[in-house]
């Protein structure tokens, strides 16, 4: 592949400056308060994600999907919220997410994607190549949930 995949640390500054038109954020149904990129995004959106969860317009159950505008509060124009189900089942469900997510994102016309899945990195790393194979260079940025994604990706290659 031509372009190098960027792996970045989740910070408010990164959310404000990431060069991606679309941001994919995975949320667990049983993790409150929101953490990582989901928590930072909620902060930037003045608690909108938390209100969605309370109403409940979005709960984080597996296979749940919501598309919403970034509303000028973060760099990406569109935000894709994907429900990941229960945290303890993440290793199982991540494989399924890696299967259906690329089709959803391609159908939506995504060309410049940032991906923010909650850790652990060992689970995410095992699916990065499959996601990159499906999405190609559309997948430009991955937020590193626990600071170990690059390390785990290297282990998977070796």
pLDDT in tens, 32-87: 999 999 999 999 999 999 999 999 889 999 999 999 999 899 999 999 999 999 99
User: Is the confidence at residue 155, as pLDDT, over 90?
Assistant: no
User: Is the confidence at residue 156, as pLDDT, over 70?
Assistant: yes
Q: Look at the alpha carbons of 78, 52, 94, 108 in this order and tell me if their dihedral is positive or negative.
A: negative
Q: pTM for the whole thing?
A: 0.93
CATH 3.40.220.10 fits 6-157, yes or no: yes
**What percentage of the chain reaches a pLDDT higher than 70?**
98
Distance CA 94, CA 124 (A): 8
**What percentage of the chain reaches a pLDDT higher than 90?**
77
Which burial class, exposed, middle or buried, applies to 1 when counting CB atoms under 10 A from its CB (0-12, 13-18, 19+)? exposed
Which burial class, exposed, middle or buried, applies to 19 when counting CB atoms under 10 A from its CB (0-12, 13-18, 19+)? exposed
Distance CA 35, CA 41 (A): 9
């Amino acid at each position: 592949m031509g372009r190098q995949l960027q792996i970045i640390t989740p910070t408010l500054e990164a959310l404000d400056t990431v060069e991606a038109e679309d941001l994919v954020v995975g949320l667990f149904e049983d993790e409150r308060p929101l953490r990582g990129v989901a928590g930072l995004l909620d902060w930037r959106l003045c608690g909108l994600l938390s209100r969605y969860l309370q109403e409940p317009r979005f709960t984080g159950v597996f296979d749940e999907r919501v598309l919403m505008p970034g509303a000028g509060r973060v760099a990406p124009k569109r935000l894709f919220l994907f429900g990941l189900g229960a945290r303890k089942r993440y290793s199982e469900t991540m494989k399924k997410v890696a299967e259906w997510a690329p089709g959803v994102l391609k159908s939506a016309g995504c060309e410049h994607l940032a991906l923010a899945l909650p850790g652990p990195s060992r689970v995410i790393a095992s699916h990065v190549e499959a996601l990159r194979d499906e999405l190609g260079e559309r997948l430009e940025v991955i937020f590193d949930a626990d600071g170990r994604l690059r390390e785990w990706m290297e282990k998977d290659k070796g």
